[in-house]
Chains A and B, each alone.
Chain A
């Protein structure tokens, strides 16, 4: 079968087509082998993981599904429609279910306070550090690389283990949790901050210098107004992360609603636990919506997480 010529490419012949076809087949084959190899390696790793996580041991106890049902039964608050809005003495009322609402709300408020304080302090620390990390502000390579190590090291450490160590250092309570959140927030913000600084336009800073401004004036009037909106989007993302994390910190003794969660389990009150989970979800959702509103209204920017 004759191959039609393509304009501008000279006459095509079966030879070039054959070469093209061979190369194409070889490429396809290579792709398939790579995919198959990846799948095999991944499956072996997964089998190892399942064995390590005791998923393959088969020892699931007797009647695992009955235990799940029992678990859900214990979490069920047993609300009854006729006594739904009765006082807290009546079984089956909302008030009976949320019997310690003021105490839980207070603990949840502590969690939020921890998150807010930690975000503010973490942001200030991260801003100062990111100035030392950014190529555009700090000229010395040695300083930049040395400073860079701290947030990188902190980032690898799980926050809850850090919180446990801090509980040993400052004693149990919200302060340990706040410090743990400060560290993780600081570590998480340093890199985006320094990247924003490196991408910033240096013109305004030079103008301030030309007008006789010192180092502080250059940063305050030349750099900060330029980068602040971008940085704030990340800060708001961290408000959300911190609020969510602060609700769990009490589990390791670091203050907030987690303490109440742990004590509910100590008394086997699974329904109270569910009530607090609902409160946590409500607070986190309200925080998410509020922070999104603020972000959209003031900056109109979106940050991808």
Chain B
């Protein structure tokens, strides 16, 4: 007859084994915690390196509070017409910039799509060029263009063109690569020429997606063109730059208020349009996958 195991024994045995069984888990945990600690230490070191410290932050918050009191009440400063003209110019820059970017990006995107230009070397080189040239922010372009060609909205539009075209060309190329081959093959089987295949096989598939991307670009270009004014490239940014430097914050608040309302309503409009595009596409005769 074997001795029955008492609960006391069972617990003792379990505890003896537990330490062994849990050892790898504890080691894993220690490793993970030290990795976190290391990351945190690196972050703190970086913050100290760039002078991001708690007392400076507190002082900044106090000063920001003071600046916010300066913002109230918002005032037009009696320059309603100047402000609205500049806002119109900013919108115009964004619209024209977007249009020109699309004009250049559409053919470039076609050239960069593997499914249209089959040559692998051309494809690789073009796509790398797009990758490299989209890395320079538009403000960096704008500053040197202003230095070279003088102030004005034309320079802003050119900066947008240089900064955004490669990015949109890349997006367009990807869109065109992702389309369904079936429609195109059936058109070819029916004896359609190269142009007809593009018009009836490719365009209906990619146009809604490309329009959606272009609308998104327009939304972000409105913000970008307002920022471009900060380096003198025309529009509302020029006025904001002066007013912020002179600390006329009540007028800044007024302009920003109008700008925010404007941007929000355009975003809403563009959102509705994009949603309609996607819906129209899913109802169309040619089934295309929707990637929102």
- Contact check, B96 vs A50: say whether CB atoms are below 8 A apart: yes
A161 to B91, CA, bound (A): 16
Closest to B53 in A: A175
- Is the beta-carbon distance between B226 and A158 smaller than 8 angstroms? yes
Q: Are A170 and B137 in contact (CB under 8 A)?
A: no
Please tell me if B152 contacts chain A, counting CB pairs below 8 Å: yes
* Chain A residue nearest to B147 in the complex (CB): A265
Binds B, one of A2-10, A88-96, A110-118: A110-118
Interface residue B82 (Cβ < 8 Å from any Cβ of A): no
**B7 in contact (CB, < 8 A):** no
In-complex Cβ contact of B63 among A45, A170, A251, A285 (8 A):
A170
A21 CA to B91 CA in the complex, in Å?
44
How many angstroms from the CA of A28 to the CA of B92 in the assembled complex? Answer: 33
Contact B92 A49 (CB under 8 A): yes
A51 and B63 contact, Cβ closer than 8 Å, known pairs A120-B43, A165-B244, A248-B140? no
A245 at the interface (CB under 8 A from B): yes
Task: Mark out the residues of chain B between 29 and 70 whose CB falls within 8 Å of any chain A CB in the assembled complex.
Answer: 43, 46-47, 49-52, 56-57, 59-60, 63-64, 67
The answer to whether B88 has its CB under 8 Å from any CB of chain A is: yes
CB-nearest residue of chain A to B87: A52
Chain A contacts with B in 49-77, Cβ cutoff 8 A? 49-55, 61, 67, 70-71, 74-75
Among residues of B, the one whose C-beta sits closest to the C-beta of A257 is B140
- Flag whether A178 is at the interface (Cβ < 8 A): yes
Q: Which residues from chain B contact A54 at a C-beta distance below 8 Å?
A: 152-154, 234
Q: With CB as the reference atom, state the residue of chain B lying closest to A75.
A: B144
Which residues of chain A are near B223, meaning CB under 8 Å? 156-159
Number of contact residues on A: which range applies?
35 or more
Please, how many angstroms separate the alpha-carbon atoms of A152 and B152 in the complex?
Answer: 31
Within 8 Å of chain A (Cβ to Cβ): is B269?
A: no
Residue with the greatest number of chain B CB neighbours at <10 A, chosen from A52, A67, A248: A52
* Contact pick for B51, options A152, A173, A273, A304, CB 8 Å: A173
Given A48-B92, A169-B60, the answer on whether A161 and B267 have CB atoms closer than 8 Å is no
Please report the C-alpha to C-alpha distance between residue A39 and residue B156 in the assembled complex, in whole angstroms: 25
Smallest beta-carbon distance B150→chain A, Å: 8
**Interface size of B as a range:** 35 or more
Most chain A beta carbons < 10 A, residue from B89, B144, B264: B144
Task: Answer whether A67 and B52 are a contact pair too, CB < 8 Å, given A169-B63, A280-B135.
Answer: no
A contact residues around B263 at 8 Å (CB): 156
B224 contacts across to A, CB distance below 8 A? 158
Q: In the complex, are the beta carbons of B89 and A53 less than 8 A apart?
A: yes
Q: What's the least CB distance linking B94 to chain A, in Å?
A: 8
Q: A211: CB under 8 A from chain B?
A: no
Smallest CB–CB gap between A245 and chain B, Å?
7
Q: Please, which residue of chain A has its CB at the minimum distance from the CB of B138?
A: A248
Chain A residues positioned under 8 Å from B139 (CB to CB): 160, 248, 251, 258
Residues of B within 8 A of A258 (CB): 139-140
Pick the contact of A53: B96, B227, B231 (CB < 8 A). B96
Q: Is the CB of B92 within 8 A of A244?
A: no
Query: Which residue of chain B is the closest to A64 with respect to CB atoms?
Result: B149
* A174 touches B (CB below 8 Å): yes
Max chain B Cβ within 10 angstroms of own Cβ: one of A54, A71, A268: A54
B-contact 0/1 string along A187-208, CB 8 Å cutoff: 0000000000000000000000
Q: How far is the CA of A75 from the CA of B141 in the complex (A)?
A: 13
Chain B, range 178-233, C-beta contacts under 8 Å to A? 223-224, 226-227, 230-231
- Chain A positions 165-190 with a Cβ under 8 Å from a chain B Cβ: 165-166, 168-171, 173-175, 178-179
Q: How far, in Å, is A170 (CB) from chain B's closest CB?
A: 3
Are A247 and B140 touching (Cβ within 8 A)? Answer: yes
Instruction: State the A residues within 8 Å of B (CB).
Output: 45-46, 48-55, 61, 67, 70-71, 74-75, 110, 113-114, 116-117, 120, 152-153, 156-161, 164-166, 168-171, 173-175, 178-179, 244-245, 247-248, 251-252, 255, 258, 261-262, 265, 268, 270, 273, 277, 280-281, 284-285, 288, 304
B residues at A contact (CB < 8 Å): 43, 46-47, 49-52, 56-57, 59-60, 63-64, 67, 88-89, 91-93, 95-96, 99, 131-133, 135-137, 139-140, 143-144, 147-150, 152-154, 156-157, 223-224, 226-227, 230-231, 234, 237, 240-241, 244, 247, 252, 256, 259-260, 263-264, 267, 291
Additional pairs, 17, CB under 8 Å, beyond known A175-B52, A244-B135, A270-B148:
A49-B92, A52-B88, A71-B148, A71-B149, A157-B256, A164-B230, A170-B59, A174-B51, A174-B52, A175-B50, A247-B140, A251-B231, A252-B230, A277-B140, A281-B133, A285-B132, A288-B135
